[in-house]
Amino acid sequence: MRKFILPVIMLLGIILTTSCKGVKDLLEAIEKYGYKSTMPLGDKKIPVEQQLLGGFVYNAMPLVISKKDEFTYLITFLSTELEGSNTEIEAWMTELDNSRYLNLEIGDLYSFLKIKPVYNNECEIRLLRSTIEPYVTPATLKSWLLKHGKEDQYITADSSTIDIFYSFNFDKISPERAYLIQAETLQDKKITLFGSCSSYLQYDNLAKKYPGDALLASARESLLKKCESLEDFKTFIKYFPDDILAEKAKMRIGEITTFIADSTNYAAAKNSNTIEAYQIFIADCKIKAYKDSAQRRIIPLVQKITRDDIEWRWTGGKRNEAVQYILYKIDYAGDSLDKGWYSKHLTLYNLKMAQAASAEAAVQYIDKMASQAPVHDELLNLYICKGFLYWSMGSFDLSLEAFKAKIGEHFNDNNKDTYRKAIRLRYKEYQKEKIVFPDEKKMWRKIKKL
């Protein structure tokens, strides 16, 4: 705690008039702009007044005035700086022609405040300014104030005008409230200090000054927020290996690593610009935005695939590629897809290949086309394809269920064939292709009875 005998001015304040605009607190005004005299205005003769005792605040700067003895006030300026300390100042009252002045002892010098009594918890304080120095001496100050102290300004011999006082308005509060304002202000500044921690050196200093303080967690959070690169996050983990935030740092490392990998792989896929390259990329990609972009790039490539492309690959021995091209068309062609042609060829090719895994995938794609609002005839055809695919896999019950689902319905095309007849015609086509089904005779008898 510092001990001064500083002006009471800082005492009671909350609102600063325009005459002292830019001055952040009363002590600053006294130190920078207050008139300094080697003599007080008078001795200690006026007893301490109860109405001036208590807490006061100006510009969020609190202070407490208490009674030191019968004639002396003790003013405690409550520091709101984290590195600061409270300041104690002694002062006493002098009355000049019904005007009351507070003598503030500052070392070997004195500053003076002209004060008005407290009304409605407000008090106006006027600081005698250093601008009057050329016109008075400590010995003549008292008489000069008796003559000019009731005015706001002083007209000099050369007719220039100077301001005599700085004016402050103070709010009176309880001492308890003043200490609470100090505590709240210091806590807010402390929160800001910890929350803006920007280096590990600063963190170490905070940890030394405030060991075990709960706000150190916010300092660590601040450091984590400032991490951007992989090295930044690795340094954070190295510095705080056991902190819960280390897990967040590890997650961010994973996200950045994934981003770098996906960015690199996407660039390679775009360089190849093939459906296959994009499909491989999509299978391993973790970032949705990249996946969506790759899928959009596939669409124009798929649109270039024709039926002839598919049949040429099939007849040229590239059977798996032909089937894959059909799946691409189902995935990306949308409503423009000729579901009849693609479902029939997907089924035919899978029956000829006799590969269970491929047939299972074909069933899933048949279901996908069925979910895309096909017209009536297309839907009947899809059920037929599904029935034969299940039969080829030995899933007899599922095959019969698919065939039975549309029994009794007719196609709407020119032939007006029944669904039952369409199944028989399709079976004959497959026989011509020399496709063999498991348990064929027994199963076919069951199908004909549907």
**285-318 pLDDT, tens per residue?**
999 999 999 999 999 999 999 999 999 999 999 9
Query: What is the β-pairing status of strands 87-96 and 2-4?
Result: parallel
Backbone φ and ψ for 338, nearest 5 degrees, come out as: -80, 90
Backbone φ and ψ for 36, nearest 5 degrees, come out as: -115, 130
Name which of 21-25, 38-42, 173-177 the model is least confident about: 21-25
Backbone φ and ψ for 196, nearest 5 degrees, come out as: -110, 15
Is 196:173 a contact under the CB 8 Å cutoff?
A: no
Token code pair at residue 184: 């709240």
* Alpha-carbon gap, residue 3 to 107, rounded angstroms: 9
**Which residues neighbour 265 within 8 Å (Cβ) at sequence distance 6 or greater?**
281, 284, 285
- What per-residue confidence (pLDDT) applies to 260? 94
Residue 118 has pLDDT above 60, yes or no: yes
Is 141:41 a contact under the CB 8 Å cutoff?
A: yes
**Which residues neighbour 176 within 8 Å (Cβ) at sequence distance 6 or greater?**
55
* Alpha-carbon gap, residue 240 to 223, rounded angstroms: 11
Residue 293 CB burial class (10 angstroms; 0-12, 13-18, ≥19): middle
Residue 367 has pLDDT above 70, yes or no: yes
Please list the residues that pair with 66 across neighbouring strands: 74
Residue 20 has pLDDT above 60, yes or no: no
* % of the chain beyond a pLDDT of 70: 94
- What per-residue confidence (pLDDT) applies to 7? 36
Average pLDDT over residues 240-257: 95
**Which residues neighbour 209 within 8 Å (Cβ) at sequence distance 6 or greater?**
none
- What per-residue confidence (pLDDT) applies to 414? 65
Average pLDDT over residues 42-71: 92
- What per-residue confidence (pLDDT) applies to 11? 35
**Taking Cα atoms as reference points, which of 94, 119, 123 lies closest to residue 26?**
123
Q: How many CB atoms are located within 10 Å of the residue 211 CB?
A: 8
Residue 338 has pLDDT above 70, yes or no: yes
* Alpha-carbon gap, residue 437 to 350, rounded angstroms: 12
Averaged pLDDT score across all residues of the chain: 89
* Alpha-carbon gap, residue 434 to 444, rounded angstroms: 15
**Which residues neighbour 33 within 8 Å (Cβ) at sequence distance 6 or greater?**
20, 23, 127, 129, 130, 166
List, for residues 378-430, the tens digit of each pLDDT value. Answer: 899 999 999 999 999 999 999 999 999 988 888 887 677 889 999 999 999 99
Average pLDDT over residues 319-334: 91
- What per-residue confidence (pLDDT) applies to 12? 34
Q: Which residues of 239-261 are buried (b: 16+ CB within 10 A; e: fewer)?
A: ebeebeebebbeebbeebeeeee
CA-CA-CA-CA torsion sign (279, 285, 288, 289):
negative
Compute the chain's Rg from CA coordinates: 46
- What per-residue confidence (pLDDT) applies to 193? 96
The whole-model pTM stands at 0.62
List, for residues 169-226, the tens digit of each pLDDT value. Answer: 889 999 999 999 999 999 999 999 999 999 999 999 999 999 999 999 999 999 999 9
**Taking Cα atoms as reference points, which of 165, 75, 69, 175 lies closest to residue 125?**
165
**Taking Cα atoms as reference points, which of 59, 66, 286 lies closest to residue 175?**
66
How many residues does this entry show for the chain?
450
Please list the residues that pair with 91 across neighbouring strands: 73, 104
* Alpha-carbon gap, residue 30 to 32, rounded angstroms: 6
* Alpha-carbon gap, residue 339 to 377, rounded angstroms: 10
Quick one: pLDDT band at residue 22, thresholds 50, 70, 90? Answer: low
Token code pair at residue 61: 């700067």
- Distance from chain centroid for Cα 448: 67
Q: How many CB atoms are located within 10 Å of the residue 45 CB?
A: 10
User: H or E element: which one contains 92?
Assistant: strand 87-96
List, for residues 225-235, the tens digit of each pLDDT value. Answer: 999 999 999 99
